[in-house]
Amino acid sequence: MPELPARRGPRLAPRFPPWLFLLLPALSFMLLMYGYPFVRSFVQSFLDAAGRFTLANYAKTWDLYLKDLGFTFAVTAFSTLLTAVLAILLAMYLRFRDGPLARLMGGLYRLPIFIPFVVVAQMMNTFLAPHGLFNLALARVGLVNIEKPLQLFNFWGLSFGFIWKMVPFSVLIIHGGFQMIDNSYIEAARSAGARTGTVITRILMPMSRSSILVALVLVYSQVVGTFTLPYMLIGGKIPTTITVDIAHRVNYFRDFGVANTLGVFSYLLVLVTAIYYLRSSVRRVTEEGAGPR
């Protein structure tokens, strides 16, 4: 086989266009403010007080907080799912209905978005208390004996608070997605014989999949990490959420090892949705990139 002449020409070296340097401030900020604390907390979860590698933090967390981990996941998943259902229903109503009531709803539903969690927590404390407005209202219509009121400073009350706070935020995103779907898609379905239910489940929801997904991921991530509402509603009772446990480990024991381990578990809880979201996004981008063949 004849020997090929050596290729001559400019050396192939990785080239960085100068404008990439413009990214440096933002990149540095992100690495310093997000990347470093994340990596540090992750590493510290494997270290003891003397700085040696250990799995003791994980063993302790497993022993003490397994129930709270399950509770946190259950509250988060339940709140997220119910938020999604209610937000989709409300977004549907706003998408299909016009008139004074729909317009009023369209304005009112956004209010909770602007109320901080600490205020929501205080509201829920009075609203869901044994002799609070909720129990009194149920007692008035005969559904509850006010001598034995519903105890709601638990899973149900916490979920109620999360849903109350997160539904408007989700509606904002999901309704935006619905609004972007041209009426012709709905009309094409209806002219093919589809009734409202079929239009919603087979046309609107699949076509708004990405906005529903974004809403779910954001709600889930926010609920997992919320401290104020569970702290003020449940406090140190068992079970509680891991955010309350983290505060407890740091404030009372200065136990950063277990606190960081609980933090790692909260990352893992969020990681599930993050991976799902990223995979869906990548798949969507890939599919959208496939043009006419």
Chain residues in the site for other proteins (CB under 8 A): 182, 184-185, 187-195, 198, 202-203, 206-207, 209, 287-288, 290-293
Least distance CB 87 / other proteins (angstroms): 20
What is the rounded CA–CA span in Å between residue 115 and residue 124? 12
Least distance CB 173 / other proteins (angstroms): 19
Closer to other proteins by Cβ: residue 67 or 283: 283
Both tokens of residue 52?
A: 């040696």
Least distance CB 107 / other proteins (angstroms): 23
Closer to other proteins by Cβ: residue 254 or 293: 293
Closer to other proteins by Cβ: residue 67 or 209: 209
Least distance CB 101 / other proteins (angstroms): 19
Compute φ and ψ for 47, nearest 5 degrees.
Answer: -120, 145
What is the rounded CA–CA span in Å between residue 57 and residue 157? 31
What is the rounded CA–CA span in Å between residue 230 and residue 158? 6
Closer to other proteins by Cβ: residue 43 or 192: 192
Closer to other proteins by Cβ: residue 54 or 281: 281
Closer to other proteins by Cβ: residue 15 or 293: 293
Q: Which residues pair with 47 in a beta bridge?
A: 53
Closer to other proteins by Cβ: residue 69 or 189: 189
DSSP-derived secondary structure for 247-284? HHHHHHH--HHHHHHHHHHHHHHHHHHHHHHHHHHHHH
9: left (phi over 0), alpha (psi -120 to 50) or beta: left
Least distance CB 90 / other proteins (angstroms): 23
Please name the residue ranges forming H helices in the chain: 24-30, 36-44, 56-96, 100-108, 117-127, 133-140, 155-179, 183-191, 196-198, 205-207, 209-224, 228-233, 242-253, 256-289
C-alpha count within 13 angstroms, C-beta hemisphere, residue 189: 17
Closer to other proteins by Cβ: residue 14 or 197: 197
Compute φ and ψ for 145, nearest 5 degrees.
Answer: -85, 120
Least distance CB 280 / other proteins (angstroms): 13
169 in Cβ contact with 113 (< 8 Å):
yes
